[in-house]
Amino acid sequence: MAINQPTRRRFLFGMMTATTAMTVPSVLARSISDEVPWTAGRAELPPAYPEQRFFTQAERRCVDAITARLIPSDESGPGAREAGVLDFIDSQMAGFYGRGERWYTQGPFQDGFDGQGYQSEYPPAGLYRAAIEALDAHCRDAYGDRPFADLSDSEQDEMLKRMEDGELELDGVSAQAFFNLILDNAIEGFFCDPIYGGNRDMVGWKLVGFPGARYDYRDFLDHNGARIELEPVSLKGRPGWNPA
Amino acid sequence: MAQKLPPVDVVLVGFGWTAAILAQELTEEGLEVLALERGAWRDTPTDFPPTLAPDELRWYWRKEMFANNSRNTLTFRNNRGQVALPMRRWGSFLPGEGVGGAGVHWNGQTWRFLPSDFIAASHNAERYGPLPVGMTVQDYGVTYDELEPHFDRFDKLCGIGGKAGNIGGRIQEGGNPFEGQRSSEYPNPPMHMTFSQHQFERATRELGLSPFPGPSANMTQPYTNPLGCQLGPCSYCGFCEKYGCGNYSKASPQTTILPVLMTKPNFKLKTHNEVLRVKLDKSGRRATGVIHVDTQGNEYEQPADLVILCAYQLWNTHLMMLSGIGEIYDPATGEGLVGKNYCYQVMSSADVFYEDKYTNEFAGAGALGMCVDDFNGDNFDHAGLDFIGGGYIANWTTNARPIETHPTPEGTPNWGSAWKKAVKENFLKSTSVGAHGASMAYATNYLDLDPTYTDAYGRPLMRMTYDFTPNDLKMSAFLTERVKQIAERMGGREIKLNTRDGPYDSMPYQTTHNTGGTIMGTNPSNSVVNRYLQSWDVPNLFVMGAGVFPQNAGYNPTGTVAALTYWAADAIRTQYLRSPGPLVQA
């Protein structure tokens, strides 16, 4: 079979969508010989942009409401709101992840079976936008002109359960695909390093007892089933490093 | 028009484990060796120092450690009755990219297949009768004893920590009594076991099994390997698999080979250069070199006397197809061998939840664990069981990274207050027992080219048609029952079984143990490469990696991939270079 030679233009387009991170490391080809090519003082910094925003106000209300039901604030401790999950997701949608830059986004698009994973023609940010619009429209129809954010807790839980189980049909978008995505992103936003805008003040890590970005537990290996109490540390450190 | 470059003696496609091993071996013969890597140069201080490495979102969830789907991916379906769709993002496996490949982000669980694994077809047929129709299991064409010195070399290169179970035929206390005989003890002692491993050891001994420490490429003490590369002691940071190691304590090409290889005058590496295909002469029986393209879109022809495919299993198989070498397998006719016998790994487990004991699994390492091999390979009598093969069962404490690992007991919902409460209560108090089952080859599981979807270069994507087989499911049910028995004895309040039922779902992570597609064997009618990993069709082309496995055994593949690489390198150095041509008469 004839394999088409890639055209230069097509190839460069492919490379533009193949960048790895916001802090674009050099993707220029190199020829390396006679050395281990290390330069002092260089590091590939994390792609963290917690201040960036994508959602409209209406979208923020909806994502806030959904994530507050997925990871509620309750008697067991802080939830998505305290952790800043909304701001985390908002900033993620504004970046390469929201644009699906590391995903295969070529068509044709068609629905697959569950085991084939994400098949939406929308990258994540687009899916949020389309799904929130359709969800709010559905809620206004079904719940007396109230968007999702204005439903009661139990009405919201019922909607989310139907989305999770694939029992809700939304216009032009898969409610179940959106549910799976927002649940993934909510958990990410609850437990990620705080540099990304979520897990604010490390509330997620403190809730579960995860010591964070530590790197040496050799002194603790003989714990023999006893609790190890370690203040969590972020890649940026922790408050105890800089006493007021 | 591709720019023709000056020729080299050897061109290696990809620069992970197999290329690093081969480059080090072949440069010792004075050959000019060039490696072409489509990803970037990566090293510890720049890319994964301790200040950047423990970042769960970045490296795993945003996939910065792995191949970029927008440029390279494949399509997937369970069977021929379905339309294959693109793997738009990675799920069940995580191909690496960049210098070091998956050798940077692997766990370091380093095994040798059993002697019987290399002769799985003849051994099982002899003991249990003919294999079922549709099962296409084959012998490898090489034996464990032939590979033993090469397994030993990789163990020493990597400073593997463990306890030998069989040295020169003598069974050793505390090791794996089922393993193939070794010529020497491991170069480093076992890892420092924790509470969970103590419970597993006790539980398995109570059941009459033979627990032993998992063989580990996470250094258990400071180590200098035979090349003079220095590795530091593992700090049990819990960011091993899926992450680069900031301590120089995980064996990788970077820590074990590159410091020596990169300064050799006869070795050159080009990064951000992707090989599009192997170029053949008019006869189609000789490789003249490769065509590659850099990230600025410039295309090159690199002539070479010897071409070796060292990319990951998936990409090596894809390259063979795109280069027109051999015939692509067609399950309808049974003709063709490239893409045949695609196999994977069959995993299952049980979570164990403690009431008032803390497992503290964040203090873990990629290969920190205790294992039993009593139910692997043909280590147990399969009479009446209606399946062949098996897998090791282990309790590994590798991590408690919260986005990834937040187990909850049976019946817990996936979100909401009840979920959050269960996550909080069980996070520090759970562990798991897992079965790592073999994957026998079937005529219905294969790789070929997709008719619809293309990659960033306009080449057709490879298509994966794969599902769990009757052998897989019966074997897994058997192993999971044994997992359950062990888990119930580990002193927990309750367990939760995670069984492996069909169909295969390409999204939840299972293993990055993809095998087959370029299988090795005894003659050109049953294999793509011969026992020295040399192409039957194109004698100056060799193919490395787990693509040569005719089926996958019940172990992580890297140790066996590396041993086969050293074995092939030895054949090239001592036989091929003296007399280039087929090393095995067809």
Q: At what angle do helices A153-164 and A57-70 cross, to 10 degrees?
A: 80
Q: What percent of chain B has pLDDT over 90?
A: 100
**Of A22-26, A134-138, B237-241, B359-363, where does mean pLDDT reach its minimum?**
A22-26
Measured in Å, how far apart are chain A's first and last C-alpha atoms? 70
Taking an 8 Å cut-off on Cβ atoms, the answer to whether B69 and A102 are in contact is: yes
Cβ atoms of residues A218 and B235 within 8 Å: yes
A2 pLDDT higher than 70 = no
CB-defined contacts A:B, below 8 A = 292
What are the pLDDT digits (tens) for A174-191? 999 999 999 999 999 999
What's the CA angle centered on B21, arms A27 and B257, to 5 degrees? 70
In a domain, residue B348? The reply is yes
In a domain, residue B376? The reply is yes
Specify the DSSP class assigned to residue B574: I
In a domain, residue B39? The reply is no
What are the pLDDT digits (tens) for B71-81? 999 999 999 99
Range A128-134 average pLDDT: 98
Distance from CA of B369 to the nearest CA of A (A): 13
A14 pLDDT higher than 80 = no
Range A141-157 average pLDDT: 97
A3 pLDDT higher than 50 = no
- Catalytic sites of B, residue numbers: 513
In a domain, residue B290? The reply is no
On the 0-12 / 13-18 / 19+ scale of CB atoms within 10 A, B451 is exposed
Q: What's the whole-number average pLDDT of chain B?
A: 98
Range B135-140 average pLDDT: 98
Taking an 8 Å cut-off on Cβ atoms, the answer to whether A103 and B69 are in contact is: yes
- Pairs from B187-190 (Cβ < 8 Å, separation ≥ 24): B187/B155, B187/B156, B187/B159, B187/B160, B187/B161, B187/B223, B188/B159, B188/B160, B188/B161, B188/B162, B188/B219, B188/B220, B188/B221, B188/B223, B189/B161, B189/B163, B189/B220, B189/B221, B190/B161, B190/B162, B190/B163, B190/B216, B190/B220
- For B387-455, give the DSSP string: ----EEEEEE-----TTT-----TT--SSSHHHHHHHHHHTTSEEEEEEEE-B--BTT-EEEEEEEEE-
- For B56-115, give the DSSP string: HIIIIIT-TTB--TTTS-EEEESSTTS--EE--S--S---B-STTGGGTT---B-----G
Give the confidence band of A26 by pLDDT, cuts at 50, 70, 90: low
> Which range marks the domain in which residue B568 is found?
97-128+139-243+313-318+328-517+546-576
**Other beta carbons less than 10 A from residue A227's beta carbon:** 13
Q: What's the whole-number average pLDDT of chain A?
A: 91
Dihedral sign, CA of B55, B57, B61, B63?
negative
Cβ atoms of residues B464 and B74 within 8 Å: yes
Give the confidence band of A241 by pLDDT, cuts at 50, 70, 90: confident
Distance from CA of B570 to the nearest CA of A (A): 25
- Residue found under tokens 């940071």: B237
A10 pLDDT higher than 70 = no
Q: Which residue of B has its CA nearest to A121?
A: B88
- Residue found under tokens 């699906």: A100
Cβ atoms of residues B86 and B451 within 8 Å: no
Cβ atoms of residues B235 and B249 within 8 Å: yes
pLDDT of the residue at A242: 77
Q: Which residue of B has its CA nearest to A180?
A: B414
pLDDT of the residue at A11: 45
What's the CA angle centered on B111, arms B205 and B27, to 5 degrees? 160
What are the pLDDT digits (tens) for A61-107? 999 999 999 999 999 999 999 999 999 999 999 999 999 999 999 99
In a domain, residue B569? The reply is yes
CA distance A158 to A138: 14
CA distance A207 to A194: 14
Cβ atoms of residues B100 and B549 within 8 Å: no
Give the confidence band of A58 by pLDDT, cuts at 50, 70, 90: very high
Taking an 8 Å cut-off on Cβ atoms, the answer to whether B403 and A187 are in contact is: yes
In a domain, residue B529? The reply is no
pLDDT of the residue at A9: 42
pLDDT of the residue at A27: 79
Q: Which residue of B has its CA nearest to A28?
A: B295
For residue B436, give the nearest of B555, B557, B558, B559 by alpha carbon. B555
User: Which residue in the set B237, B247, B402 is minimally distant from A208, CB to CB?
Assistant: B402
- Domain spans of chain A, in order of start: 57-103+116-205
A7 pLDDT higher than 60 = no
Distance from CA of A91 to the nearest CA of B (A): 14
CA distance B10 to B36: 11
Distance from CA of B396 to the nearest CA of A (A): 14
What are the pLDDT digits (tens) for B263-285? 999 999 999 999 999 999 999 99
Dihedral sign, CA of B517, B522, B526, B529?
positive
- Return the H-helix or E-strand segment holding B470: helix B470-488
What are the pLDDT digits (tens) for B21-71? 999 999 999 999 999 999 999 999 999 999 999 999 999 999 999 999 999
Q: Which residue of B has its CA nearest to A221?
A: B194
What's the domain count of chain B? 1
What's the CA angle centered on B501, arms B496 and B502, to 5 degrees? 155
CA distance A156 to B339: 48
* Separation of CA B71 from chain center: 22
**Other beta carbons less than 10 A from residue A25's beta carbon:** 17
In a domain, residue B269? The reply is no
For residue B157, give the nearest of B100, B219, B106 by alpha carbon. B219
Query: CA Rg, chain A, in Å?
Result: 22
CA distance A70 to A74: 12
Q: Which residues of B touch A7 (CB under 8 A)?
A: 458
For residue B218, give the nearest of B111, B112, B109 by alpha carbon. B109
pLDDT of the residue at B287: 98
What are the pLDDT digits (tens) for B489-539? 999 999 999 999 999 999 999 999 999 999 999 999 999 999 999 999 999
Q: Which of B76, B237, B417, B419 to mutate to test the interface with A (most CBs of A within 10 A)?
A: B417
What are the pLDDT digits (tens) for A204-231? 999 999 999 999 999 999 999 999 999 9
Taking an 8 Å cut-off on Cβ atoms, the answer to whether B198 and A14 are in contact is: no
Query: How far from A147 is each of A57, A163, B54, B414, B574, CA to CA, in Å?
Result: 13, 16, 40, 24, 75
What's the CA angle centered on B425, arms B420 and B426, to 5 degrees? 100
Q: Which residues of B touch A50 (CB under 8 A)?
A: none
Q: What percent of chain A has pLDDT over 70?
A: 89
Amino acid occupying residue B395: N
Q: Which residues of A touch B417 (CB under 8 A)?
A: 72, 74, 76
**Of A3-17, B337-351, B557-571, where does mean pLDDT reach its minimum?**
A3-17
pLDDT of the residue at B272: 97
ipTM, two decimals, is 0.97
pLDDT of the residue at B586: 81
pLDDT of the residue at A21: 38
pLDDT of the residue at A244: 65
Beta bridge partners of B274: B293
Q: Which residues of A touch B354 (CB under 8 A)?
A: 225
CA distance B486 to B39: 43
A20 pLDDT higher than 80 = no
